[in-house]
Amino acid sequence: MEIHYPNGKTFHFKKEDRKIKVKKYQYGNRGMTLEDDINESNKYYLSNKIAVIHKKPTPIQIVQVDYPERSKAVIKEAYFKTPSTTDYNGVYRGKYLDFEAKETKSETSLPLKNFHEHQIRHTEAVLACGGIAFVIIRFSKTEEVFLLEGEHLLKFWQRMESGGRKSIAKDEIMQYGHYIPLGIQPRIDYIRLIESLYY
């Protein structure tokens, strides 16, 4: 087999290049974001008629589009029309589900600055109407995933507004939240927890 450089010249292997040692790595699901894992889990739920959960599209207003070719359009300028609410919503066994997904590199806490005021108000509204609201949290360094019910999220937010700490300690998430072990299909089986908590 010959390998050529872009200029057409042939690449010649040196004797030492022929003995390449291959290291074996266990990558698993490394590189997948929390959102990727939830999206894959949601596909599993949908295809198995367990639940219908979708990621909400971010509402944007397109201002300027360039058409370098007839078949290609490039958005040059756009802005958010309205603040989005939370990341996901849908239905499971006749109940409305609404939740946010948050990932943190911190090993000890989840900063509350990761949430926006309108997301908190939206969570309050969902709970007031009898829906199920929560947040799925991943500590990315340890790949630990937790579900924290909306009621607890609101309490931690109120504590911050009253001058308390500006984050939720991991110990608090472990105390008030629920650990979700990582699986294969689905990767993050949060519906199993919803089943045990609300049904």
Task: Give the annotated binding-site residues for Mg(2+).
Answer: 85, 87, 100, 119
149-183 burial string, b = 16+ CB within 10 Å, else e?
bbebbbebbeeeeeeeeebbebebbeebbbebeee
Give kind and range of the element (H or E) at residue 63: strand 60-69
The total of other beta-carbon atoms located within 10 Å of residue 137's CB is 24
Report the distance separating Cα 141 and Cα 150, nearest Å: 24
User: Who's near 94: CB < 8 A, 6+ residues apart?
Assistant: none
Spatial distance between the Cα atoms of 94 and 198, rounded to a whole number of angstroms:
12
Distance set, CA 104 to CA 9, 32, 101, 138, 176 (Å): 48, 14, 10, 6, 18
Q: Quote the CA–CA distance of 174 and 94 in Å, as a whole number.
A: 29
3-state class percentages of the chain: helix first, strand second, coil last, to nearest 5: 30, 35, 35
Residues in the annotated binding site:
85, 87, 100, 119
74 vs 152: CA distance, rounded Å: 43
